[in-house]
Each structure stands twice: as structure tokens, then as C-alpha cells.
Structure 1
Amino acid sequence: MNTTTSNSSFSTLLQDEIEYPKAGILSKVLVKDKNCQYTLFCLAKDTGLEEHTATRNAVITVIEGKGTLVLEGNAIALQPSTFVFMKANAPHALKAEENLAFVLALSESSQPN
């Protein structure tokens, strides 16, 4: 799979793109331009991301697996079809309870940080 820029059209079956590492995280940038980026994240079971922030708005769309997202102190169960919007600079952390695959969309915030 090749990363594409948004000035060209693109399609893929996300299920075909999923690859779980034996441990840790595998990420694949699907589409990227100056305003947005769409990345497929594949987390091995029991992998976590420590609390952090992002300077852009973010959307998580879960494809498969289960996990927990802690967003601004609130726990959100992640499972297939879960959709989460995170405003820029919102503190968040993540833990994969099973192998977990999701698309992360980053976009520019229309509000000053």
C-alpha cells in the first residue's frame, strides 16, 4: 500500500490493510496533505499509549478489537464502529485490551490553540 496525497482519489479495504505486530504499534499513513492526515493504527493486545495531547483535532474510528480510551479523564470503551472526536490539545491515553485497529484522522483546528 502506498500513501496518497489528497489531490488524488484513493480507496482501500481497511480489513486488508490491518497487520498486527507481535508487540507494540504498527501505523500506516493512508492519506496525508497539509490540512489532514488519515492513519491506520494496529495495536497488539496489552499495548498502551501514555497520556498525551495533539495540536490538531482528531477522530478515532474503530475497525476491530477492544480497548479503552481515556479522554479528558473520561473512560470510553473502544469496540468496532466506535467513533470519537477529540478537540485539539485534549489530553488522552489508550490501552488495547485485544488486538485493536482504528483509523485516526487528524485535521487542523479552526480555533486558536
Structure 2
Amino acid sequence: MAGVFTVEQLRPIKDGMTISRDAKMGQTTAVTFFSLGKDTSISQERYDVTSIYIGAKGTADFLIGDQAKKEPVSDGDCLIIPGGTLCGVETATGTVYTEIIIKKETNMNSIVKSGEVMKLKDLISYEEGSIANLDVVSNSTMKFVLMAFDEGTGLTPHRAPGNAIIFALEGKATIGYEGKDYTLSAGENFRFDKNGLHSVTAQGKFKMALLLVLE
């Protein structure tokens, strides 16, 4: 699969149901799309490794720790849960999100606070005439990075050494992929395969997150 999509399209909300779909990105980094129907929940559980949650549609309360502290996650929000921490989810309205389970020790940017909801687009600023990069979490098998493209900037065609998903956070861009152009807007995603030839050209200012799985 390659092209523009939304997580909601891949895993639409169904009343009374909790549904998950493996994104098939790799084995060491597990990426899963989740949808929870109105008034549904997932009981608290513990992963031994770091997990990342990225809101795509609706709002969910993540229940963190022994006291089940509530952290609301909605569109464009990110929540990082350290290994060994109890975490569950409940929603009154329905929600869609991406879960990333990182099965190896990670390097985390010092500006990131585990257990606190962050608005991804607010973590990185535009720099005049430039492309800004900020690594959020990384290890030898994955990288989750933010990028801010000032107007008139872009990435020339290149190939990445792993499967990847772009999360468009703000603005609009043209994604060139294997000889075809796609328009990507805030709230949409783009999937490209390992070694797929791709480029990014900002239409005005543009911010995105990139999940690259190196397997």
C-alpha cells in the first residue's frame, strides 16, 4: 500500500466495537491503527517497552498509572508511555488513533515529556527559508521525526531505507512518489514502501511527522 489515506478511512468507527488493524510496517516496531466506538474502552495493561499514541479522529481519555490519571488525546495529539506503565483507553464519543510499540531501547528528545499529551505541530517551529527537523524518538530500527517546511522549500527525490508513514500536521504539500504527484493536507497520511522514490514540496508552510521503520 502506498498513497494518501486517513486512519479513519482504514479503520472507521463502528458503534459498540473496538477494532485494531496491523499497519504491517515491520516486526521490531509494531504499528497498529485503532478505532473505538462510542462509550467503549480498552482495560489498563502494561507494555514492557515504550509506546506512542497519535490521535487521528475524535477524543479518547488515556488512563495512565495506578491512579488511572486521565489524559485526553484528540486529532494531532501525541502521548508517549514509558515501559512498565499501566495504560488504558476510554471514549464517550468514539475515537481513532495510531499505536506504535517500540520493542527496543529508545533515545528520546529532552523536550518530550512521557505521560503528557503534546500537540505535535507545536513542538517544532518554521525557520526562514529552511527545513527544520526534530527527532522525537529513535533507535537502530525506527525513527519518529517532525519536519517543518518553510514556504518554497522541499526534499528532492530520494529513497528511504525502510517503510514509512507521513502524518500531515499543518498546511499542504505535494508528495511525489514513483513518478506520480499526490496532494497531502493536514489530517491526512501518506504511506511509502522501503526504497520507494519520493519527494516533498511544501505548498506554503507545511509541517509533518514521519515514522520510518528500519527493518
TM range (shorter): 0.7 to 0.9
1:72 matched to 2:178: yes
| Residue 51 (structure 1) aligns with | 157
Pairwise CA RMSD of aligned residues? 1.8
1:108 aligns with 2:214: yes
| CA distance in 2: counterparts of 1:61 and 1:29, whole angstroms | 14
Match among 9, 17, 23 for residue 123 of structure 2: 17
Match of 1:62 in 2: 168
Q: 1:16 deviation in Å?
A: 2.0
Higher strand share goes to which structure?
Answer: 2
Taking the aligned partners of 1:63 and 1:10, their CA distance within structure 2 comes to 21
Alignment match of 1:94 (pick from 200, 204, 210) = 200
Q: Which moved more, 1:89-98 or 1:13-22?
A: 13-22
5+ long unaligned stretches in structure 1 = none
Shift of 1:55: 1.0
Q: TM-score, normalised by structure 2?
A: 0.46
Give the secondary structure class of the aligned counterpart of 2:136.
strand
Matching of residue 29 in structure 1 with residue 135 in structure 2 = yes
Structure 1 counterpart of 2:102: none
Deviation at 1:10, TM superposition (A): 5.8
Question: Per-residue deviation at 1:95?
Answer: 0.6
* Structure 2 gap ranges (5+): 1-106
Alpha-carbon distance in 1 for matches of 2:173, 2:121: 18
> Aligned pair in 2 of structure 1 residues 50, 10: CA closer, same or farther (>3 Å)?
farther
TM-score with structure 1 setting the length: 0.84
Identity of matched residues, %: 27
CA contact (8 A) 1:57 1:106 kept: yes
